[in-house]
Amino acid sequence: MTEQKRLKSALFVDFDNIYLGLRQLDEDAAEQFASNPAHWLKWLEEGMPGLTGPEELQGRERDILIRQCYLNPRGFQQYRPYFTRSAFAVVDCPSLTSQGKNSADIYMVMDILDTLDHPTHFDEFIILSGDTDFMPVMLRLREYDRRTTILSAGPAAAAFLAAADMIISEDVFIEYALDVGAEEGRKGTNGVTVTSTATPELLDAMAEKLYAEASANGEILATDLPKLYRSFPEFRRDSNWLGFFSLRALTTHLSQRHPNLRITEGDPWRVTVALPHKSRKSPRQAGEKTLPASKEEKLRRRIVDLVRRMVSDAKEPILMGRAAQEVINRTGKQVLDSHWAGAGTFKNLLQSEENLGFEIATSPSPGYLYDPERHSLPREEESAKKGEEVPPKLAEFSKRISRITGAPNLTPRQYAILFTALAEDLKTHPYHLTATSKAVRDRVIEQGEAISRANINNVLKGVAYAKHRFSKRDTPQSLARVYRSYLLSRCEDAELELSREEKRLLREWIEGGLRDLKQKNGDKKNGAAKSTELVKTSAAGKNKKE
C-alpha cells in the first residue's frame, strides 16, 4: 500500500474569535490556545488524532506552509510573541468601533483569495473562526476544488458548517489538541487516597467474576457492570462503590487485579479481555498452567457439545454471558485458566467452529445463542422504549427542535439524569469541559443509563454559551433552566418563533424529567418512612402486649 502524501495546507487564525469562544467553554483551554500555539499546531500537522472526518482528510499529515494569525493588539498584544515564535505571520487588527469590532475577517478573506493564486497549490485551507462572514469564501474554495477544515468556538450556523469538508469540534480540540482538563484530582473523592471497605478476598472474587463475564464475548459494557457487582451480597450502593467512590474507580482496581483485563475507552467505556499470544507466554506469571494441544482440543469439543445441548434444550435464545457462565460452572476453572481452550474468549471459540448447529448473534447487546428454526431474537428495544416513554406530541416536537438547534434528542428522564449528574460533580470538582464530561458520563452509567460524551459535551457547551459560569452552587433545576434558555435563543437565531404551547413543550422536554425524578424519589422516601414507622408501631405494640 502506497503511503499517502502529506497535505499542503494554509492556516488562517481569527485569534479574537477563537480565544473568546474557548474562554466561554474553559478558561484554561483559552489560555493554552493563546500561549502555546506550537502544541496544537503539532496536532494539526500530525493528522489531528482523535478527530473523525472524510477519508481523504482523515489522519492525513500536513505541511502547514502558510500560517497567518489575525489579532487585536489592544486586547491581546501579550500573546503575539507566542505566535511569532511558532512561525506565524501576525497581522494586527485593532478595534475600529466602540463595540470592539475589528477588520480581521476582511483581511482574512482577502489573504485567502490571494492564496488561491499562489504558485504553490494548497490542498487544504484551515480556518479557525466561527464567523459566518466566511461563508462566501468557503463556497469559493469549494469551486476551486480545495478542501476546507474549520474550527468554530461557539454556536455556528448550520450552513457555515455544511460548507466545510471537515469540522473540528471544540471539545475534540480542547481534549486532543490542547490537552486540557485531564482527570487530575479525581481519584477517590477530592483527591483523597481511596481506602476500600472490601477484603482482598472479595475483590479477587469480583475480579474473577468480571473476567468470567467479559471473556464470554471479549468485553462487557460499563452499563452492565452495576448489575454484575450487585450479585455479591457484600456490595451495597450505600458503600460508595466499596469505598472507591465511583464505578470507574472500582472497575479500574478490579482490572488491575487480573492480568487479562483492560479498560477500553468508548461510549460507553468497557472492560475487555486481553487475548493470549500464541508465540509467547501469557502475561500471567511463569507458573500459569497451560494445556497440551490434545487436552486443549478435547476441552474445546466438550465446551461446544455442552453449548449445543444447552441451545437445543432452550425454549428461547440464551444470553451469551449466561451460557459462558454455565459452561464454567459445569467444566470448572480450567476453562478460564486455559483462556477458553486457547481461543481467548467464549465467542471466539464458538466462531472458530464449523457446523455449530445454532447461530451466534452479537446484536442486540449483549449477544445471544439461538436456533433460528425455533427461536426469535429480541428486537433492539432502545428506540421502541424511547417512543413509549415520551408522549407522541412531545416526541415529534423534540425531534424537530433537535434537528434545528443540534440539541441531543434525549428523553426527559435522560436529561434529568444528566443534569443531576452534572450538579453532583460540580459540588466536588471544578469545571473543565473534558474532565467534567467524562465524569458526568460515568455518573450517568452508574444510574444504568448510557449517554454519549458527544451529547454530554453538547449540553455543557450550550450551558456555557448561555454565559453561565459553572459552580458548586448549581442545581439540576438551575442548569436545566439555563440550557432551555439557550435552546430558545438558538430557535430565535434560526428564525423559528415558538408558540406558547411549543414553549410549554420545550420546558416539559428539558425540565419535566426532573419533576418526575423528584416525585419518584419522594415516593421512595415516603415508602421507606412508612415502612420504618410500621416496624416501630409493631415493636411498640408487641412490647405493650408483653
HSE-CB of 518 using CA atoms within 13 angstroms: 10
89 has a pLDDT exceeding 90: yes
pLDDT at 124: 95
- The CATH code of domain 384-522 reads 1.20.120.1790
CATH (one of 3.30.70.240, 1.10.10.10, 3.50.50.60, 3.40.50.1010) for 7-177: 3.40.50.1010
* Residue keyed to cell 449540553: 459
Specify the pLDDT at position 238.
63
pLDDT of residue 69: 97
What distance in Å separates the CA atoms of residue 339 and residue 408, rounded to the nearest whole number? 41
3-class DSSP assignment, residue 79: helix
pLDDT 10s digits, 334-371: 888 888 888 888 888 888 888 888 998 876 566 789 99
* CA–CA separation, 96 and 99 (whole Å): 8
Q: What is the mean pLDDT of residues 105-118?
A: 93
pLDDT above 90 covers a percentage of the chain that reads 48
Output the pLDDT for position 173.
94
- pLDDT at res. 535: 45
Q: Which of 318, 339, 345 is nearest to 215 (CA)?
A: 345
DSSP 8-state code for residue 173: I
Under the banding of pLDDT at 50, 70 and 90, the label for residue 493 is confident
248-299 tens-digit pLDDT: 889 999 999 988 899 988 778 889 988 765 544 444 444 445 557 778 889 9
Question: Which strand ranges, in their side-by-side order, compose the sheet holding 89-92?
Answer: 89-92, 62-71, 7-14, 124-128, 147-151, 166-168
pLDDT at 280: 41
In this prediction, residues 438-444 reach a mean pLDDT of 91
Task: State how far the Cα of 497 lies from the Cα of 171, in Å rounded to an integer.
Answer: 30
DSSP 3-state assignment of 447? coil
pLDDT at 135 over 60: yes
Residue 277: what pLDDT?
A: 56
Query: In the prediction, which pLDDT does 419 show?
Result: 97
Q: Enumerate the H helices of 61-197 as residue ranges.
A: 73-76, 80-84, 104-115, 135-143, 158-162, 170-172
The residue among 534 and 490 whose pLDDT is bigger is: 490
List the domain boundaries for the chain.
7-177, 200-273, 293-370, 384-522
- Whether the pLDDT of residue 380 is over 70: the answer is no
DSSP secondary structure letter of residue 404: H
Is the predicted pLDDT of residue 528 greater than 70, yes or no? no
Inter-residue contact 163 to 147 (CB < 8 Å): no
Poorest-pLDDT segment among 196-205, 461-470, 499-508: 196-205
Q: CA-CA distance, 525 to 509, in Å (whole number)?
A: 25
Across 28-37, 102-111, 195-204, least confident range: 195-204
Distance CA 151, CA 17 (A): 10
| Distant-in-sequence, close-in-space partners of 491: CB < 8 Å, separation ≥ 6 | 401, 404, 405, 497, 498
pLDDT tens figures, 201-229: 999 999 988 988 888 878 888 888 888 88
Average pLDDT on 433-441 reads 92
The more confident residue out of 377 and 151 is 151
d(CA 33, CA 180): 10
Residue 14 zone, left/alpha/beta (φ > 0; ψ -120 to 50; rest): beta
Q: Which residues, other chains included, contact 305 with Cβ-Cβ below 8 Å and sequence gap of 6+?
A: none
CA distance 232 to 389: 31
- Taking 90 as the threshold, does the pLDDT of residue 491 lie above it? yes
Average pLDDT, whole number, for the chain? 84
Contact 446, 226 (CB under 8 A): yes
**CA-to-CA distance for 200 and 216, rounded, in angstroms?**
25
Specify the pLDDT at position 230: 86
With contact defined as beta carbons under 8 Å apart, do 336 and 211 qualify?
yes
Q: What pLDDT does residue 311 have?
A: 92
Single pTM value for the model: 0.74
Give the closest residue to 437 by CA, choosing from 417, 414, 457. Answer: 457
What whole-number distance in Å separates Cα of residue 58 and Cα of residue 115? Answer: 24
Range 78-93 average pLDDT: 95
Per-residue pLDDT of 154-205, as tens digits, reads 777 677 778 899 999 898 999 999 988 655 445 544 444 556 778 999 999 9
Task: Name, of 2-6, 161-165, 283-287, 473-477, the range with top average pLDDT.
Answer: 473-477
Quickly state the pLDDT bin for 523 (edges 50, 70, 90).
low
- Separation of alpha carbons 13 and 199, rounded Å: 56
